[in-house]
Amino acid sequence: MDFTFTEEQQAAAEAARAVLSGVVPDGVPSPALVPGAVAEDIDRPLWAGLASSDLLSLTLLPEHGGAGLDLVALCLVLRESAKVLARVPSLETCAVAMALQRYGDPGLAAELLPRIGRGELVLTAGSNGRSGHDPAELAVKARRRARPGTSGKATAPGGAADPADAAVGWVLDGMQSAVPWAQAADWIAIPAHTDEGRAVVALVRPAQDGVTLAEQVSTSGERFAEVRLESVRIDDRALIDGAGAWEWLRAILTTGTCALALGLGEAVLAMTSQYTGKREQFGFPVATFQSVAVQAADRFIDLRAMEVTLWQAAWRISTGADGALPAEGDIAVAKIWASDGIRRVVQTAQHLHGGFGADTDYPLHRFHAWAKQIELSLGPAAAHEEALGNLLAAHLLD
Q: Which of 283, 295, 310 is nearest to 353 (CA)?
A: 295
**pLDDT values of the chain reduced to their tens digit, one per residue, 398 residues:** 466 899 999 999 999 999 999 999 999 999 999 999 999 999 999 999 999 999 999 999 999 999 999 999 999 999 999 999 999 999 999 999 999 999 999 999 999 999 999 999 999 999 999 988 889 999 999 999 876 655 545 444 444 444 434 568 999 999 999 999 999 999 999 999 999 999 999 999 999 999 999 999 999 999 999 999 999 999 999 999 999 999 999 999 999 999 999 999 999 999 999 999 888 788 888 888 899 999 999 999 999 999 999 999 999 999 999 998 999 999 999 999 999 999 999 999 999 998 888 889 999 999 999 999 999 999 999 999 999 999 999 987 76
Cβ atoms within 10 A of the Cβ of 160, count? Answer: 8
Rounded to whole angstroms, the Cα distance separating 255 from 244 reads 16
The pTM assigned to this predicted structure is: 0.93
Residues 6+ apart with CB under 8 A from 14: none
Give the distance from CA 393 to its chain's centroid. 28
DSSP, res 5: P
Partners of 175 in the β-ladder = 228
Q: What share of the chain is helix, strand, coil (3-state, %, to 5)?
A: 50, 15, 30
Handedness of CA 90, 93, 99, 102 (dihedral sign): negative
Rounded to whole angstroms, the Cα distance separating 328 from 369 reads 28
Contact (CB, 8 A) for 225 and 42: no
Rounded to whole angstroms, the Cα distance separating 67 from 327 reads 25
Helices (H) and strands (E) in the chain, counts: 10, 10
Report helix angle 71-83 to 90-103, nearest 10: 170
Query: Measured in Å, how far apart are the chain's first and last C-alpha atoms?
Result: 23
In sequence order, what E strands does 246-322 have?
A: 280-281, 284-285
Query: In angstroms, how far apart are the furthest CA atoms of the chain?
Result: 94
Partners of 193 in the β-ladder = 141, 199
Looking at residue 242, its amino acid is: G
